[in-house]
Amino acid sequence: MEETMKKTQVSAQNGSEGRSFAAGLNFYKLFWIFMIGCFLGTILEMIFCFVTQHGLIESRSGLIYGPFNPVYGFGAVVLTIVLRPLAHKRDLIIFLFSMVIGSGFEYLCSAFQQYFMGTVSWDYSNLPLNIGGRTCLLYGLFWGLLGLLWVKDIYPYFSKWIEKIPNKVGIVLTWVLVVFMIFNMAISALAVQRWDQRDHGVKADNSFEEFLDKTYPDDFMRKIYPNMIL
């Protein structure tokens, strides 16, 4: 009886240890998908810029620290949640769903940034079949193709890779990155807001705004956000 109980306890411990911290589609898995999307989206856009603009190397980051763009990160999370249940469907159905979801998400991000921060990071007004310059057919097609590749090939690969990270390392590293990204997004938003204020002739009226002016001057901000419209 005692040996049976010991075997049961060992079995339970092994089962607990064998389950990945990012199994399924929990917070940890989604956060890592967010980080991967932030990074890969930035790199792909830089490559696209390099190819289409005759070798121009230009920042496409959405944050001050690191090659990360939260638009692509959140986009990857949304595509993962919505498209995963459709992974067994025909490619055309996945493509169309991804096209609509990606275009809608891009439109909402643009509207949110303009209305709440007073800035614009992209403007497709010069492209055909655009909606308020916030999204257009061309980039909708890109979203469709990206979503199809994501759910069929990219996500399954990274999902398995994430689950191979040791549990203790994965949990600690996740929360370190969570804190880093919260700080990165917050300071980036504040620096952009202060940049916009300087552009409109608003002087710093407290020590924190003076810190932002000194640490993130106009020249620095233009390098990070070369296409931003204030």
Query: Measured between alpha carbons, how far is residue 192 from residues 108, 110, 114, 181, 199 in Å?
Result: 19, 15, 12, 16, 10
- pLDDT, position 15: 41
- Longest distance between any two alpha carbons in the chain, whole Å: 81
- For residue 229, the cross-strand partners are 120
Residue where the block lists tokens 């409109």: 200
Label each residue of 109-136 as H, E or C: HHHHHHHHHCCECCCCCCCCCEECCCEE
Asked if 32 contacts 39 with a C-beta cutoff of 8 angstroms, the reply is no
Taking only Cα atoms into account, the Rg of the chain, rounded to an integer number of angstroms, comes to: 22
Q: Where are the domains of the chain?
A: 21-224
User: Which is higher by pLDDT, 202 or 121?
Assistant: 202
User: Which is higher by pLDDT, 94 or 50?
Assistant: 94
- pLDDT band of residue 17 (cuts 50, 70, 90) is low
Task: Tell me the pLDDT tens digit for each residue of 209-226.
Answer: 999 999 999 999 999 999
For residue 97, what are its two tokens?
A: 């769903």
- pLDDT, position 12: 39
pLDDT value at 27 more than 50: yes
Task: Tell me the pLDDT tens digit for each residue of 54-103.
Answer: 788 888 899 999 999 999 999 999 999 999 999 999 999 999 999 999 99
pLDDT value at 129 more than 70: yes
Lowest pLDDT segment from 27-36, 46-55, 174-183, 189-198: 46-55
- The mean pLDDT of the chain is 90
- pLDDT, position 111: 95
User: Which is higher by pLDDT, 1 or 84?
Assistant: 84
- pLDDT, position 62: 93
**C-alpha to C-alpha distance for 182 and 177, rounded to whole angstroms:** 8
